[in-house]
Amino acid sequence: MAELNQTVTHFVFLGLTNNRSLELVLFVIFFIIYLLILAGNLLIMVTVACDQCLHTPMYFFLGNLSFIDICHSSVTAPKMLHDSLIHQKIISFGGCVAQLFFLHICACAEIFLLTIMAYDRCLAICCPLHYVKFVNLKICGYLVGALWVGATIHSLVQTVLTIRLPYCGPNVIDSFFCDVPPVIKLACTDTYFTGVLIVSNSGVISLVCFLALVTSYIIILFSLRKQTAEGRRKAFSTCSAHLLVVVLFLGPCIFIYTHPTSNFSSEKLVAVFYTMVTPVLNPMIYTLRNKDVKNSMQKLGQCLPVCLD
């Protein structure tokens, strides 16, 4: 541990638990989950890319969501799995900064993408005759580019607010990865103003996007009264899957950045949920409820042996 009044060069993670046996059990569980995240999301990306029938805005966004989920989980999971096998869990100061930077890029990009997906569904259901005019793959490409620019700006703000603080000890982070809230608690200065700015940045983005999502679905619900029974069934199937993903991801984000208390145990549980559990659930939520994706995966499975031959 760095001595007081000396510049911190590294941080030490406490991890998920102090129980060595439990830590090894968690390693096996999270290793399997991480493999499922990679396999499930890669399968969706390949399926969307290979099937011309899925070259539509909705599935374009779904493929991008899978890409973000892989990136998001890969920021924390490999380091966490490695640390589960060793006694002292150390990360350099630069590595910590890089981790929280990419973590916030991926998290913010996913929030923006989920909001865009809600807007896409709202237009598709409420204005089907004008949908092609307002939403096409070219426009979708611009929207995805814009969300990455916005996510990068957000992450830069978070990172600059964090690294501008002086760190002179202690250097122990009661978590399994670097994020802004636990890191700034280690700064050897008053962080109240910085904390307010961070909550204003991350918390407001989460809340505003969540309100935009709720508004979109309220509009969709009102428009469904004019739809046929089959149209309502398809709309409910698509929107319920997306809404479930939104709740699973945005709920933990809003909790971490807006709750007033500092209960590290609950924060760890929530952090595990949105970094590991949500990315592995997304492919199952979308594929199990979507006939088009399942049919495309079946066709892909039939074509692969022929291609390999």
pTM of the model: 0.87
- The predicted pLDDT at position 289 comes to 67
CA distances from 187 to 93, 183, 184, 194, 199 (A): 13, 7, 5, 11, 17
Residues of the chain falling short of pLDDT 50:
1-5, 260-261, 306-309
Strands 10-13 and 89-92: antiparallel
The burial of 172, by beta-carbon neighbours within 10 Å (0-12 exposed, 13-18 middle, 19 or more buried), is given as: middle
Residues 151, 108: Cα–Cα separation, whole Å = 5
- The predicted pLDDT at position 181 comes to 83
* Cα 149 to the center of its chain, rounded Å: 16
Q: Any residues with CB less than 8 A from the CB of 267 and at least 6 apart, and which?
A: 175, 181, 182, 256
- The predicted pLDDT at position 93 comes to 93
Main-chain phi, psi angles of 75, to 5 degrees: -70, -35
Residues 16, 81: Cα–Cα separation, whole Å = 11
- As a whole number of Å, the CA-based R_g of the chain is 21
Fold of 10-308: Rhopdopsin 7-helix transmembrane proteins (1.20.1070)
Q: Which residues of the chain form beta strands (DSSP E)?
A: 10-13, 89-92, 172-173
